[in-house]
Chain A
């Protein structure tokens, strides 16, 4: 049987003539990337980078793994996975327990945690928080760090307000009047609440102190053995981030392929969530970690009793791979 030489020749020719043709799927290195536990427009830069083939151009195929942040950090710390998304405080907490994780890309330039209070509560300044009852999802993680940082930055002791652990029910608890204020994400709950006709005063932690926020982490073994992998990963993610900032509408459309429920009634709200998130991602040099943000984070965590001692921050993060 004759082999079809002409079609094969044309295919070879076409491949050779395509500029910067991405590697075939079989040649790509699969990267399982733990992120937050639900698909969300807040991961737009990664969806954009994946959809536009930036990861593929770097020889990577991403698998988005929606899981708890701490689980992703543990898997990276154990070198079971090369990367995860994690917030700055998780890196310091993990390193305190001898998990050799290192932060390599500062995606969020500002800490997104805020304290929201009903517009009629009279809380429109951090000093107004004293003596109030504040709902918080849990006594740990980014929410607690954000609260501690807000109080510290404004000279208030941690127990100046009464914290009430309410799980992730801040919006409902605020509307029901069970609490006077809630620790929230500035780019999420205030927008949802406003869309439900419940305007809130928002005190953004980022307006008072700069803290190391969400980014990409890897581990010391990967940094030592395969720094080029880290460089490729960071490069593709930054391209996705830049595209998202340049054209949020296009990014939002791409998000619809990855996130359910972005059409219909929720579309406007979720588009606003993306717009608000962009404010936290902007930077002169995308991906760059500000040393002051790490120093502040460490100080706040020591004051809050979450860190026993100060760490060598040069081991906790690096800007070496940021383009």
Chain B
């Protein structure tokens, strides 16, 4: 017997889970942001924490506007963003190239993977001062640190993506006498795209961390420098301002990677409809 006036089939079959639409996502984001702001305000208002330990949202807002008006925030953000984009680009090119090579050559992977994994066990903060000595205190050292952090997730996702191509499809390409570049363009790249773009989403946020680590160690520009400066001057509102811009930068890059993922992988949705 049907309950609540629904048909029998509706009761027996679970409703498919549909991803929330854009308005619902925006509403959720707004609610979480408002809740966080309220909790933050409550902590500063009634938590007994002095402003130099936890500045109020209003104090951070004021500091943000001051830094925006005097041009320092835009200048330092531009520096960090340029390092992040260059590091991300370098890390993606290096990781994807080596990843493709290793995916195609299990022998090379067996030979090189111990070294690659070992390189990831070295804390980047420990070698950052050395990189700054070797490359000098300018932007190249920050770009390299950023690229080094991005490299590994891109490498691993590329290997996984290329290895995910079914053998029968490879056989099909071979039977059609496809060239190596045709196989890459028409089979391997589309098949590896979901993995690669997943790695890119991780790498885009890590690139921000990499650049800031470099700026922490030695820099006179960039948002990492601004955090250091704020700490040194006990200007905690400035520290929060720089951190919030860094978070926004990482979120922006992640969102761009997500948009790229949706656009690139649209063909998969088309395939599902048929």
Chain A residues in contact with chain B, CB under 8 A? 68, 70, 73-74, 77-78, 93-94, 96-99, 135, 137-141, 163-169, 172-173, 176, 178, 306
B244 contacts the other chain (Cβ, under 8 Å)? no
Mind listing 25 A-B residue pairs with CB under 8 Å?
A70-B231, A70-B232, A73-B234, A74-B234, A77-B50, A78-B49, A78-B50, A78-B53, A97-B52, A97-B235, A98-B50, A98-B51, A137-B218, A139-B220, A139-B225, A140-B228, A165-B225, A166-B132, A166-B133, A169-B129, A173-B133, A176-B133, A178-B133, A178-B136, A306-B233
Docked CA distance A74–B51 (Å): 10
Are B129 and A139 closer than 8 Å at their CB atoms? no
User: Contacts A163-B220, A165-B137, A165-B220 hold; do A93 and B53 have CB atoms under 8 A apart?
Assistant: no
Which of A94, A138, A164, A176 is within 8 Å of B234, CB to CB? A94
Query: B220 to chain A: which residues have CB within 8 Å?
Result: 139, 163-165
Q: Are A99 and B234 in contact (CB under 8 A)?
A: yes
Which residues in window 29-48 of B have CB below 8 A to A?
none
Chain A residue with the shortest CB-CB distance to B221: A165
Is B85 an interface position by the 8 A CB rule?
no
B interface bracket (residues with beta carbon within 8 Å of A):
20 to 34
Interfacial chain B residues near A140, Cβ < 8 Å = 228-229, 232-233
The answer for the CA separation of A255 and B118 in the assembled complex, in Å, is 36
Minimum C-beta distance from A100 to chain B (A): 9
Please pick, from B51, B137, B228, B231, the residue contacting A166 in the complex, using a CB distance under 8 A: B137
Chain A residue with Cβ nearest B134: A176
Q: With A and B bound together, what is the CA distance between A172 and B129 in angstroms?
A: 10
Instruction: Give Cα distance in the complex from A93 to B232, angstroms.
Output: 8
Choose one: A93, A94, A139, A172; the contact of B133 (CB below 8 Å). Answer: A172
Chain B residues contacting A138 (CB-CB under 8 Å) are: 218, 228, 232
Q: 0/1 per residue, B42-69, Cβ < 8 Å to A?
A: 0000000111110000000000000000
Nearest residue (CB) in A for B214 is: A167
Q: Is B133's CB under 8 angstroms from A169's CB?
A: yes
Cβ of B187 under 8 Å from chain A: no
Count contacts between A and B, CB distance < 8 Å: 74
Per-residue 0/1 for B243-264: is the Cβ within 8 Å of any A Cβ (1 yes, 0 no)? 0000000000000000000000
B191 within 8 A of A: no
Instruction: Name the distance in Å between B14's Cβ and chain A's nearest Cβ.
Output: 53
Our pick among B129, B229, B231 for the contact of A167 (Cβ within 8 Å) is B129
**Closest residue of B by beta carbon distance from A144:** B232
Contact partners of B132 in chain A: CB under 8 A: 166-167, 169
B228 close to A74 (CB less than 8 A): no
Interface pair B228/A164, CB less than 8 Å apart: no
**A98:B218 contact, CB within 8 angstroms:** no
B173 at the interface (CB under 8 A from A): no
Residues of chain B lying within 8 A (CB to CB) of residue A139? 220, 225, 229
Please, which residues of chain B bring their CB within 8 A of the CB of A137?
Answer: 218
CB proximity to A under 8 Å, residues B212-234:
217-220, 225, 228-229, 231-234
Which residues on B sit within 8 Å (CB–CB) of A77? Answer: 50, 52
User: In the bound complex, how far is the Cα of B235 from the Cα of A94, in angstroms?
Assistant: 9
- Mask, B115-155, CB within 8 Å of A = 1, is 00000000000000100110011000000000000000000
Q: Residue of B at shortest CB range from A100?
A: B50
Least CB distance, B272 to chain A, in whole angstroms: 52
User: Given the complex, which residues of B lie within 8 Å of A306, measured CB to CB?
Assistant: 233
**A74 and B229: CB pair below 8 A?**
no
**A19 smallest CB distance to B (angstroms):** 45
Contact B234 A97 (CB under 8 A): yes
- Report how far A167 CA is from B129 CA in the complex, Å: 7
Query: Which of chain A's residues has its CB closest to B54's CB?
Result: A78
CB-defined contacts of B50 to chain A, threshold 8 Å: 77-78, 98-99
User: A214 to chain B: closest CB distance in Å?
Assistant: 16
Q: Which residues of B contact A94 (CB under 8 A)?
A: 52, 234
Contacting residues, chain B, for A172 (C-beta < 8 A): 133
Give the CA-CA distance A178 to B129 in the complex, in Å.
14
Bound complex: CA A218 to CA B49 (Å): 18
Report the minimum CB–CB distance from A287 to chain B (whole Å): 25
In the bound complex, what is the Cα–Cα distance between A176 and B132 (angstroms)? 12
Whole-angstrom distance between the alpha carbons of A68 and B234 in the complex? 12
The CA-CA distance from A68 to B216 in the complex, in Å, is 14
- A97 to B235 CA separation, bound complex (whole angstroms): 7
Q: Among B129, B137, B218, B234, point to the contact of A93 (Cβ < 8 A).
A: B234
Q: In the complex, what residue of chain B is closest to A176 when comparing beta carbons?
A: B133
Q: Per a CB cutoff under 8 Å, which of B228, B232, B234 touches A96? A: B234
With CB as the reference atom, state the residue of chain A lying closest to B128.
A167
Residues from chain A with a CB closer than 8 A to the CB of B229 are: 139-140
Q: Which residues of B contact A173 (CB under 8 A)?
A: 133
- Once the chains bind, are B228 and A168 in contact (CB under 8 Å)? no
Q: Chain A residues near B51 (CB, 8 Å)?
A: 98
Distance (whole angstroms) from the CB of A260 to the closest CB of chain B? 17
Q: Top 9 A-B pairs ranked by shortest CB distance?
A: A167-B218, A140-B232, A97-B234, A165-B220, A167-B217, A172-B133, A166-B137, A166-B218, A169-B133
Pick from B52, B129, B228, B231: contact of A98, CB under 8 Å: B52
| In the complex, residue of chain B having the shortest beta-carbon distance to the beta carbon of A306 | B233
With contacts A74-B52, A163-B220 taken as known, whether A141 is within 8 angstroms of B232 at the C-beta atoms is: yes
Residue of A nearest to B218 (CB): A167
Q: How far is the CB of B166 from chain A (nearest CB, A)?
A: 50
| B-side contacts of A141, CB under 8 Å | 232
Q: How far is the CA of A73 from the CA of B220 in the complex (A)?
A: 24
